[in-house]
Amino acid sequence: MIKHQYDVVIIGAGGAGLRAALEIPEGFSCAVLSKVFPTRSHTGAAQGGIGAALGNEEEDSWEWHMFDTVKGSDYLGDQEATEIMAKDAIRAIIELEHMGMPFSRTPEGKIAQRRFGGHTRPEKPDDPDSKRVAVRRSCYSADRTGHVMLHTLYENCIKQKVHFFSEFFVTDLIMSGKSCAGVVAMDVATSEVHVFHAKAVMLATGGYGRVFRITSNAHVGTGDGFSFVYNNGLPLQDMEFVQFHPTGLWKLGILISEAARGEGGILLNNKGERFMERYAPTVKDLAPRDMVSRAIITEIREGRGFKGSDGTFYVHLDVSHLPKEVLNDKLPEITGFARTYLGVEPTREPIPVQPTAHYAMGGIPTTVDAEVTRDKKNTKVPGLYAAGEAACVSVHGANRLGTNSLLDLIVFGRRGGKAIAKFIKGAEFALLPEDAADRTLERIDHLMNSKGKEKVGPLRTELQERMMEKVGVFRNKKDLTEMTSEIKSLRERYREVSIDDKGKIFNTDLVEAIELGNLIDTAEPIIYGALVREESRGAHSREDFPKRDDKKWLKHTLVYKTDGKPKVDYKPVSITRFQPKERKY
């Protein structure tokens, strides 16, 4: 076992982790641990853009951005945090540009912006109550916005000589009393266990898409950070809110950006109808993701979908009427995906799409400065921070708007970095417990020596299929209750997992086995959150409780792990400018 001491340890080298690392001042030591080489992080898969009311293409304001985000969140987003994000967005985008991020440009040379789901402005700018129409708010770089943002941040980290530990797989948090004192990690190249003693730890570990069978998320999206927090007695917030992106490539779940619809693409059912006109008469195909996903599943359930060769159903996304230049210059990646993976020629044929698990609105509860909190009173956990998809600030509430995830990363990644910079100046290292690495060592030892009959691959597939069937776009009490016993049984069977690889060098068999444990840990609060919330709000849609119920449920869920059934608690929502209203588009 190797011991290190750093003032700051950041877990994850996606947008939030890298942005935070740039804030750690000279004279303090900072290590960024990532289970993959930094530019392999999932931030790089984001396509369509990053939201900010720059007003480069038409009049816009941060208040309108804030309103859209609050409305998009189905009023569950904390408005104090949302206001910070919408205001800071403008500065944050300009900062990225100054860091060297390449953007598509307007004829005047400004950052180009396009339309995106749920982003609107009042039709008459002087009359805030006038009808809302789609606005150009998404700053983009063709359809590779996340890729160039991730590379730009990594490049700036190289410039600033940030210290990376690549292919280091974090396995646990080290808690010292009520404070965080570091993390335990395994060097994947050697299987050596390392203890990182730190004054401050930031979890920027991303999402959990791989809990579901059909997902746009990378294989590394296994909810590791959620598992660390949950297993250390800390709560997870609003985990029932899982975003299914409406347009995943059929069968594969690969993301086909909303930018396709922002540029004029439309969704069609098997009768050739533009069905979104019925569900969202004003913004149609540019309705928020939760609504479009529900519309697609409803069309399919009512017999208006297409049946695929794998037995699953899809609808059509048609971009064939768009000018060739738009497809080639603004949507080159996604048209390429359709060609490569389905052999579909988007200039002539519609693209088969179906909803795909995409984003965790919930996560590790934090303050607006990325400080992790442990209860409904927002009591802080000294030394522990979280940002990005892993965190729940909450700005996305019950449903995130497209372009707000990249924005969340850089706004709250930076704020977290700044808060850490302030904290480490005054803080001492918390006492490092003697047994800090014991749980990890036992876990590794168990998996390496287990002779159990369960295998990682089939067990994971079972989890993913059950979650897709019972905790998907539509949910009900019966399915969710069944799922609570399923997860219990999956957890028991997980103890019987054995692996083939008994070696020390790049033992990815071992890594995947640990990741499967993290997936199971993460699924549990998703299921319990969904079961207790007896209403439909944003992405959480209960067939048995089809209405939003503000009287009972305008509150955040906190789920704690216990030896038996998880404990559920609630936390109020911050409402400042916008009172909840019916959500119509």
Q: Which amino acid, one-letter code, is at 465?
A: E
Q: Does 555 interact with another protein (rule: CB under 8 A)?
A: no
Site for another protein in 225-254 (CB under 8 A): 252, 254
Q: Does 222 interact with another protein (rule: CB under 8 A)?
A: no
Query: Which residues in 140-164 are b (16+ Cβ under 10 Å) and which e?
Result: bbbbbbbbbbbbbbbebbeeeebeb
Give CA–CA dist 190/555, Å, rounded.
46
Residue 105 vs residues 73, 115, 330, 432, 522: alpha-carbon distances, Å: 30, 15, 11, 51, 41
Torsion of CA 196, 211, 388, 475, to 10 degrees: -140
In the complex, what is the shortest distance from the CB of residue 173 to another protein, in angstroms, rounded to a whole number? 23
* Beta bridge pairs of residue 306: 314
Residue 256, token pair as written in the block: 């086909």
The residue from 82, 104, 293, 518 that contacts another protein (CB under 8 A) is: 104
Q: Is 466 a catalytic residue?
A: no
The residue from 4, 5, 94, 133 that contacts another protein (CB under 8 A) is: 94
The Cβ of residue 549 has, within 10 Å, a number of other Cβ atoms equal to: 13
Window contacting another protein (CB under 8 A); options: 143-151, 177-185, 300-308, 547-555: 143-151
Give CA–CA dist 324/3, Å, rounded.
57
Site for another protein in 458-487 (CB under 8 A): 458
Window contacting another protein (CB under 8 A); options: 312-320, 336-344, 373-381, 468-476: 336-344
Give CA–CA dist 368/414, Å, rounded.
11
Which listed residue (136, 289, 533, 542) is catalytic?
289
Give CA–CA dist 576/80, Å, rounded.
7
Nearer to another protein, 108 or 435 (CB): 108
Alpha helix segments (H runs only) across 232-288: 259-262, 276-279
Q: Does 36 interact with another protein (rule: CB under 8 A)?
A: yes
Give CA–CA dist 291/357, Å, rounded.
14
In the complex, what is the shortest distance from the CB of residue 36 to another protein, in angstroms, rounded to a whole number? 6
Nearer to another protein, 159 or 581 (CB): 159
Q: Does 102 interact with another protein (rule: CB under 8 A)?
A: yes
Give CA–CA dist 546/171, Å, rounded.
39
Q: Does 132 interact with another protein (rule: CB under 8 A)?
A: no
In the complex, what is the shortest distance from the CB of residue 141 to another protein, in angstroms, rounded to a whole number? 7
Q: Does 260 interact with another protein (rule: CB under 8 A)?
A: no
The residue from 187, 462, 469, 501 that contacts another protein (CB under 8 A) is: 501
Q: Does 192 interact with another protein (rule: CB under 8 A)?
A: no
In the complex, what is the shortest distance from the CB of residue 342 to another protein, in angstroms, rounded to a whole number? 7
Query: Do 184 and 174 meet the contact criterion of CB atoms below 8 Å apart?
Result: yes
Window contacting another protein (CB under 8 A); options: 152-160, 354-362, 472-480, 532-540: 152-160
Residue 50, token pair as written in the block: 């990053």
Give CA–CA dist 339/356, Å, rounded.
19
* Count of positions on this chain that bind another protein (CB under 8 A): 65
Q: Does 113 interact with another protein (rule: CB under 8 A)?
A: no
Give CA–CA dist 392/361, Å, rounded.
7
- CB proximity list for 261: less than 8 A, separation 6 or greater: 117, 247, 267, 285, 286, 317
Window contacting another protein (CB under 8 A); options: 153-161, 171-179, 446-454, 558-566: 153-161
The residue from 28, 29, 133, 155 that contacts another protein (CB under 8 A) is: 155
Q: Does 311 interact with another protein (rule: CB under 8 A)?
A: no
* Gap between the terminal Cα atoms of the chain: 57
Q: Does 37 interact with another protein (rule: CB under 8 A)?
A: yes
Q: Does 53 interact with another protein (rule: CB under 8 A)?
A: no
HSE-CB at 76 with a 13 A cutoff on CA atoms is 34
Q: Report, as residue numbers or ranges, the catalytic residues.
A: 289
Contact footprint for another protein (CB under 8 A): 36-37, 39-42, 44-45, 93-94, 97-100, 102-112, 141-142, 144, 147-148, 151-152, 155-156, 158-159, 189, 218-220, 252, 254, 309-310, 329, 333, 337, 340-343, 455-458, 499-501, 503-509
